[in-house]
A = this chain, B = another copy of it.
Amino acid sequence: MSGAAQFSVAARAGAARAGVLRVRGKECPTPAFLPVGTYGAVKGVPPDLLERLGTRMLLANACHLHDRPGADVVARAGGLHRFMGWDGLILTDSGGFQVFSLLATSRLDEEGVTFRSPVDGRELRLGPREAVDVQLALDSDVAMVFDHCPPLPAEPALLADAVERTTRWAAAARARHAERSQGGQALFGIVQGGLDDALRARSARQLVELDFDGYAIGGLSVGESNAELRAALPRYAPLLPAERLRYLMGVGRPADVLAAIAAGFDVFDCVLPTRNARHGMLFTRAGPLQLKNARWREATGPIEAGCDCPACARWPLAALRHLFMVGDPLAILLASAHNLRFLHRLVAEARAAIVAGRDPAALPEYSGLDAPAPADA
């Protein structure tokens, strides 16, 4: 443990925890949802609005920023906080998920991965040491180790191989970070192992021996069914040390986030709220609402009564639908703001429940979350 991150648990309810993460004097109450700003912005959402929505920590992607504009460019401009216009906490993902799950052209060797830029096809390279160097240059608050993250379903031999390689790479990253970090940036390990409980346990054990500032479960939300994901949560959360932050990567469906909080996870990131928003899909407590649906053409009320997001505060649903139909970028901003606010409220209400000793998975106001989407009119 580098000592750069302090995590304290303030209250528990069953396996669920309410805590606070502190890095570089900045605090993030947990459970927390991290909006995704892949390329250095949460698409279309200005950082002052993110802050008003309740964002305390966001995620940016070292792999994408390594491609464009390059970590050196960000470093020379004063680091990622200045580059993003964001004073709050930034966690950078290492790119393990991206190079293994999203890019067909990746070539794996023992020292890392060679892949082609999805932008211009030029050859790029990331490995455990390069990913540390990139994230130190970006100067994020929390860096992630570079892991081997196979898409699911995967052969048992591949999963086992990925776990061992992830551990070797984690050790290399840990050493590199200890050698090059000026202090301040925390480093988290990532547990792999697919849906194989024995592999997950072994991966967690090996990583905990390396002593990271926090631990993530990676390699979920990468192809398995929702039932498999939900069943895995209470099995895998206890594999991670109780006194460190537990980060479940890539999960953002509201019902899944509540289940993960109940299982003992503390933070979550996902493109879902903002990507869905760009496609007109809005979160409500009664399940998803599709903005394009003709039934909203003359709807004079807000997206959801009681929501305090800027879209619900100022716009009738008919106007939001109209902005979406004419392709105004303001529709993206407002829909993204609504979905992010929805998740920030959900984790805040879960936190309040935990502090009050109640089960966060049983919040009655969210009982309609798993409802199917209404058919399009």
A333 near B322 with CB under 8 A, answer: no
B40 near A322 with CB under 8 A, answer: yes
B323 near A40 with CB under 8 A, answer: yes
Copies assembled? 2
Residues of B within 8 A of A333 (CB): 44, 46, 329, 333
Q: Pick the contact of A329 from B49, B78, B329 — CB < 8 Å?
A: B329
Residues of B within 8 A of A328 (CB): 39, 41, 43-44
CB neighbors of B among A8-45 (8 A): 39-45
From A80-88, A128-136, A203-211, A252-260, give the one contacting chain B. A80-88
B318 near A73 with CB under 8 A, answer: yes
Known: A44-B330, A46-B334, A76-B318. 19 other contacts (CB 8 A): A39-B322, A39-B326, A40-B319, A40-B322, A40-B323, A41-B328, A42-B330, A44-B44, A48-B310, A68-B322, A68-B326, A69-B297, A76-B298, A76-B300, A77-B300, A77-B319, A82-B316, A82-B319, A83-B315
A329 near B43 with CB under 8 A, answer: yes
A45 to B328, CA, bound (A): 9
Q: Chain A interface residue count: which class?
A: 35 or more
Closest 7 CB pairs of A and B: A44-B329, A85-B314, A329-B329, A69-B322, A77-B316, A83-B319, A41-B330
Residues of B within 8 A of A82 (CB): 316, 319
